Amino acid sequence: MTGSDEASPSQPVPLPDASRRLVVAIDGPASSGKSSVGAAVAAAIGARFLDTGLLYRALTWLCLERRLRPEDGPAVAGLVGEIDLGPDEAGHLARVLVDGRDVADRIRTPRVDRAVSEVSRQPEVRAALLDRQRAIAAAGAIVVAGRDIGSVVLPDADVKVWLDASAEERAARRARERGFDPASPPGIAILDELRRRDQADGSRAVSPSRPADDAVHVRTDGNTFEETVAAVLAVVRAAGAVAEGSP
Ligand code: C5P
């Protein structure tokens, strides 16, 4: 695989058995579809799914609840032990538990969006969550979505995909999801916020959001959801075939 590879959309076809043990890293910027595409890919290959953004969001939510300053890395990192992920009905690690309470519906809010990049640029926070993410992935057979999975968290992942689309396309999708016309003032605010987060996540000193050198780039502009899932499955299938043929 090379960084310049482009996967073309194709129909899903049955995957070789070897792909069931694969560790698949899907990275990309905000609203690139990593979590929905990652969950669909995981379901197709019978793997678990971890959206690492949930960990950063849950920690940010808890930091705000406790009235800690997002830039106080050591204090915020001290909260990591209070956060747990649990499986939903589909077996994905989508239940976000704080003190046993499911807070999943409180962490995808503009309030958390605004503070999460500050929390996630703290080296103490990244170190604490690094161990957590590796522990979850250790058993294999998992699709992991994030920003630095292929480059830092799981550099030995069998498959690395960098999912991307223009900021306008990503913001328009997010605006429609939230019930706004992309050209309306709230739609434009979503685009501004997304650009701000791209810039913050891509320029931080520790583990900036970036494609691994050996990631396959999948651009999703103009794709349907199904086309993007098929394109990623094509990449997984290729890696699964390699694993199957090797000793
Ligand atoms: O993917 P999502 O938009 O939910 O992630 C929220 C934030 O968490 C990102 O903007 C980024 O600051 C942080 N994050 C990260 N590394 C990851 C996943 C998320 O820094 N692997």
Tokens of 152: 């830092």
- Do 116 and 58 share a structural domain? yes
Last residue of a domain, one of 139, 169, 191: 139
- 13-67 tens-digit pLDDT: 454 555 457 999 999 999 999 999 999 999 999 999 999 999 999 999 999 999 9
- Do 201 and 187 share a structural domain? yes
- Do 148 and 38 share a structural domain? yes
- Do 236 and 155 share a structural domain? yes
Say how many C-beta atoms besides its own lie within 10 A of residue 124's C-beta: 16
Cα–Cα distance for residue pair 198/134, rounded to 1 Å? 24
- Do 160 and 54 share a structural domain? no
- 198-242 tens-digit pLDDT: 999 999 999 899 899 999 999 999 999 999 999 999 999 988 755
Question: String of b and e for 157-191 (b: at least 16 CB within 10 Å)?
Answer: bbbbbbbbbebebbbbbbbeeeebebeeeebeebb
Domain hosting 194: range is 1-47+141-242
Q: Is the CB of residue 211 below 6 angstroms from any atom belonging to ligand 1? A: no
Pocket test for ligand 1, best of 147, 149, 210 (most atoms within 8 A of CB): 147
Query: Chain-wide mean pLDDT for the chain?
Result: 89
Last residue of a domain, one of 106, 139, 172: 139
User: pTM higher than 0.85 for the full model?
Assistant: yes
- Do 126 and 95 share a structural domain? yes
Residue 247 is assigned to a structural domain of this protein: no
